Amino acid sequence: MAHIVGGITTSHVPAIGRAIAKNLQDDPYWKPFFDGFKPVHDWLAKARPDVLVVFYNDHGLNFFLDKMPTFAVGAAPVYTNADEGWGIPSLPPFTGELDLSWQVINHLVGADFDLTTCQEMRVDHAFTLPLALCWPDQKWPVKVVPVCINTVQFPLPSAARCYKLGEEVGKAIRAWNSDARVAIMGTGGLSHQLDGERAGFINKDFDLAFMESIVHDPKWATQYSIEELVEKSGTQGVELVMWLAARGALGEKVTEVHRNYHLPISNTATGLLVMEPST
Ligand code: DHB
Ligand code: FE
Q: Average per-residue pLDDT in the chain?
A: 98
Q: What does the pLDDT read at residue 96?
A: 98
Residue 127 confidence (pLDDT): 98
Question: In 114-240, where does DSSP find H-type helix?
Answer: 125-134, 159-174, 204-216, 226-233
Report CA torsion sign: 204, 186, 180, 278.
Answer: positive
Each residue of 15-29: pLDDT tens digit? 999 999 999 999 999
Instruction: Using the mean position of ligand 1's atoms as its centre, give its distance from the Cα of residue 193 in Å.
Output: 8
Q: Write down the pLDDT at residue 191.
A: 98
Q: What pLDDT is recorded for position 86? A: 87
Tell me how far the alpha carbon of residue 175 lies from the centroid of ligand 2, in angstroms: 31
| Residues 217-232, mean pLDDT to the nearest whole number | 98
The answer to whether residues 174 and 103 touch, using CB atoms and an 8 Å cutoff, is no
Neighbours of 105 (CB within 10 A): 21
Residues with a CB atom less than 6 Å from ligand 1: 12-14, 59, 192, 194, 236, 266-268
Angle in degrees, CA 20, 24, 26, rounded to 5: 125
At residue 91 the predicted structure's pLDDT band, cuts being 50, 70 and 90, is: very high
Point out the ligand 1 atom lying closest to the alpha carbon of residue 264. 10
The predicted pLDDT at position 123 comes to 98
Using alpha carbons, list the distances in angstroms from residue 218 to 3, 126, 252: 21, 22, 8
**Average pLDDT of the residues in 104-126:** 98
The residue to mutate among 243, 266, 270, having the most atoms of ligand 1 within 8 angstroms of its beta carbon, is: 266
- DSSP conformational letter for 88: P
Total count of residues recorded for the chain: 279
Q: Which residue has the higher pLDDT, 108 or 279?
A: 108
Nearest atom in ligand 1 to 265's CA: 10
Percent of the chain with pLDDT over 90: 98
Q: What percent of the chain has pLDDT over 70?
A: 100
Q: Are 77 and 143 in contact (CB under 8 A)?
A: no
Question: Each residue of 43-77: pLDDT tens digit?
Answer: 999 999 999 999 999 999 999 999 999 999 999 99
Question: Among 16, 84, 236, which is best to mutate for testing ligand 1, by the most ligand atoms less than 8 A from CB?
Answer: 236
Rounded to the nearest angstrom, the distance between the alpha carbon of 188 and the centre of ligand 2 is 6
Give Cα separations from 174 to 171, 214, 255 (angstroms). Answer: 5, 21, 18
Write the residue with the smallest CA distance to atom 3 of ligand 1.
13
In angstroms, rounded to a whole number, what is the distance separating the alpha carbons of residues 111 and 135?
33
Give the β-pairing of 143-149 and 51-56. parallel
By alpha-carbon position, which residue is closest to atom 4 of ligand 1?
Answer: 13
Closest residue by Cα to residue 108 from 149, 71, 151, 154: 71
Which pLDDT score, from 0 to 100, does residue 279 have? 73
pLDDT at site 154: 97
pLDDT tens readout for residues 120-152: 999 999 999 999 999 999 999 999 999 999 999
What digits encode the pLDDT tens for the residues 184-209? 999 999 999 999 999 999 999 999 99
Q: How far is the CA of 120 from the centre of ligand 2 (A)?
A: 21
**Rounded to an integer, what distance in angstroms lies between the CA atom of residue 129 and that of residue 135?**
10
Q: pLDDT-derived band of residue 214, with 50, 70 and 90 as boundaries?
A: very high
User: What is the mean predicted confidence (pLDDT) over 210-214?
Assistant: 98
**Distance of alpha carbon 277 from its chain centroid, rounded?**
17
Confidence of residue 164 (pLDDT cuts 50, 70, 90): very high
> Measured from the CA of 189, which atom of ligand 1 is nearest?
4
